[in-house]
A and B are shown apart, each in its own frame.
Chain A
Amino acid sequence: MIKINVTTATKLDKDQLKKIRDTIKDKYEDRIELNQIVDASIVGGIKINIGSLQFDSTVIGKLRMIKKQLLAATQQ
């Protein structure tokens, strides 16, 4: 069984969760267990953890990426 954590800033409704579940289910043959986490600190967007794999599409994650790349650009 594969554990999946879905993190969002606001609570998702049933339809939205079902959409996510269906998208992931096609990719994996195993049974999946979907977990919803609400965390306002991500500001917006969505973060999905499948096992040790993470898809981070949150606002805070993007800001972090921008910060990292700007710092790298200034160091050169």
Chain B
Amino acid sequence: MIKKKTQKITADFSSLMDGIKKSSNVSSNFFNQQLSTLVKKTNIETEAKSLGKVLSYGDGVVAVEGLDDINAGELVDLGNDSYGLALNLEKDRVGVISLMDDKKLRAGDYVKKAGRLLSVNVSDSIIGRVVDGLGVPMDKKGAISPGKEMPLEKIAPGVITRKSVSVPLQTGVKAIDAIIPIGRGQRELIIGDRATGKTSIALGAVLNQKDQDVVCVYVCIGQKRSSLANAIGILKKHDAMKYSVVVAATASAPASQQYLVPFTGQAIAEYFLEKGKDVLIIFDDLSKHAKSYREISLLLERPSGREAYPGDIFYLHSRLLERSCCLNEDYGGGSVTALPIVETQAGDVSAYIPTNVISITDGQIYLETDLFNQGLKPAINLGLSVSRVGGSAQIKAMKQVAGTMKLDLAQLRELEAFAQFSSDLDQKTKAQLDRGLRVRSILKQAWDKPLKVEEQIMVIYAAVNGYLDDVMESRLIVWENLFIKHLRGGQQDLLDNIRQNLKLDDTLKENMSEVIRKFNESDQDLQDNNHDE
């Protein structure tokens, strides 16, 4: 084996020498000189290397004898350009997970300490690219230009460097921006069963960051390739790849890459954080991440705990999500907002991973199958969803209109149960119920049609102040579409006013009412003619 390698190197070298000779014959000594300076520059001092011998290799786990001075989490050179990560340090052996699908490694091979920690090369040119779990491009657009090596594992920014969340991150979704607002630097969990629109909400939030100077990182963990292709397609279609990076380890990637990919994404996000930028990172999804870590832990024969997950599964997610933060001005003032996604089984939020991640994050957006089937999209259960810190990041005008809306929705929930028993309701109750239904309907929104915050305020203002009471419920969507078009067409001044004015004062409110009234009058056919029946 060694002999073969030696022959290969000798052959390589002699062909190199031939090349040098030829080139010096043909043209000047330029090539010759260049090469000799390069060779002279190389460092060939003898150094102490730590070696290990492969005892066994299977299921992506390499058992190594030797490697006495290796540290936990250090990179191991497995030869053939493939690397592994030392995870288990025992008395006479080291458990290494292979990062690539290595087919050449054999028992008895020598491996050595790589002498560095796992890191990913990030530069500004990574924006618009699709990379794998180790930061290697998957999109055949060439290598990422050399920038900074960002370590995958890093201790989260300290308390001194942080400040509390104060700037909103607009998702463009009315229900979220009004009731469960998200601030820059917050970690908001998106949780729900399969096919309830979790990814859609996250992608919608990415689409809404257009022209907001926010870098978006979409981390795909253990998803189907078709889903990933779909997500990339959506981002491309809406021109969102110009400010986004996709980091993906699909279901067919080795478990080690699926385990590392969120850290790679976070490292990429931190590159932009260091530059003082605002970053939005989406982990889609952490339940698959937990499963890949469980797979690795079981193969490494670590003791298993609840649902066969290893004991440090909580620490795995907490150390990842703790790195999302909002830095103060002394440290660049950047932020990383995380939207982790967790998939539940049959709505069971009390399973192990969901409860873990709920307790780590600053709130959750809870999606329900029932609501989804009723056509209330986004299918957010507003009673169970919370945002623990986002309230302080909401703009004042939104806070004003959202306060009334929350009340209307709470009354609706109460009345709805009551109204099922009796058909005869007094006028006041019926009016309240109608109002509630309209407010709830106005929160329906297609995920790929994000609205600006001032547009959201106008629509919600109209609903909570009774300007929609005369519009048929089934035609609310049409009303909204036309109204938004109307606003964008001729009322730019008003919209600018709402955005710039921190608070809705009486004159502004009067202006808003006037615009809505006029619009309603001009579009009589939207009015509900059978309202009294």
Contact = CB atoms under 8 A, between A and B. Distances in A.
Contacts of A60: 6, 9
B3 interface: yes
Contacts of B44: 62, 65-66
A67 B12 contact: yes
A49 to B, nearest CB: 7
B436 interface: no
Given A41-B3, A53-B51, A60-B6, A65 B68 contact: no
Interface centre among B12, B41, B46 (most CB of A within 10 A): B46
Nearest to A57: B46
Interface string A47-63: 00101111111001011
Contacts of A69: 41-43
Nearest to B46: A57
Nearest to B3: A41
B67 interface: yes
Interface residues of A, number: 23
Q: Is the interface of B mostly helix, strand, loop or mixed?
A: mixed
B48 A52 contact: no
Interface in B48-70: 48-52, 66-69
Contacts, number: 59
B490 interface: no
Contacts of B49: 53-56
A67 B38 CA distance: 11
Contact of A54 (B2, B3, B12, B48): B48
Interface residues of B, number: 26
B158 interface: no
A52 B2 contact: no
Nearest to B35: A70
B13 A63 contact: yes
B478 interface: no
A7 to B, nearest CB: 10
A41 B68 contact: no
Interface centre among A53, A62, A76 (most CB of B within 10 A): A53
Contacts of B50: 52-54
Contacts of B2: 39, 41
B39 A54 contact: no
B146 interface: yes
Nearest to B49: A54
A57 to B, nearest CB: 4
B311 to A, nearest CB: 29
B48 A53 contact: yes
Contacts of A57: 46
A56 B44 CA distance: 10
Contact of B67 (A52, A63, A64, A65): A52
A65 B52 contact: no
Contact of B68 (A52, A56, A64, A70): A52
Interface of A: 39, 41-43, 49, 51-57, 60, 62-67, 69-70, 73, 76
6 contacts: A42-B6, A52-B68, A52-B69, A63-B13, A67-B9, A70-B39
The 9 A-B residue pairs with the shortest CB-CB distance, nearest first, are A52-B66, A57-B46, A69-B42, A62-B44, A52-B68, A41-B6, A54-B51, A54-B49, A66-B42
Interface of B: 2-3, 6, 9-10, 12-13, 38-39, 41-44, 46-52, 66-69, 112, 146
